[in-house]
Amino acid sequence: MKNSLVLGDFYRILETDQISPTKMSVKISLNPEHPIYKGHFPNVPIAPGVCLIQMIKEVLMHIQDAKLLLEEGDNIRFLAIVNPYLTPEVFIDYDFLPSGSALKVVTALIRWEGVSYLRFKGKFRQVD
């Protein structure tokens, strides 16, 4: 995957597993040398929540080959801190819920080895 416009080389997609038409799991490698960690926080780096949400959106855009706009974050829970030195890889599990509108209803879970880091439920709109 080419670097994102927003996050640069913050992460890289390693593999994608389409489990069913409505479920997918994506393995991500985090770049612990990314400049964002120097300011958040220098001696104990953590992935900023806004970057994790952006990563959920960008990976979804890449997988679906569509430009998306986050319309609504219904339920976002930060459950644990992501330190890229301690957790250099994560999975993002996606569930796509039926929707009667132009919005894609998506739930996502960022996890690794039995630890859940972020739960997300939101709505995305495809843009041209």
Rounded Cα–Cα distance for residues 90 and 125 (Å): 25
Q: Tell me, what's the pLDDT at 120?
A: 98
Contact 11, 28 (CB under 8 A): yes
Task: Give the pLDDT confidence of 21-35 residue by residue, as tens digits.
Answer: 899 999 999 999 998
Q: What is the pTM of this model?
A: 0.91
Of the pLDDT bands very low, low, confident and very high (cuts 50, 70, 90), residue 3 is: low
What the block records as the tokens of 123 is: 């709505």
Under DSSP, is residue 1 helix (H, G, I), strand (E, B) or coil? Answer: coil
Of the pLDDT bands very low, low, confident and very high (cuts 50, 70, 90), residue 64 is: confident
Q: Check residues 91 and 74 and name the one with the higher pLDDT.
A: 91
Domains within the chain, CATH numbers bracketed: 11-127 (3.10.129.10)
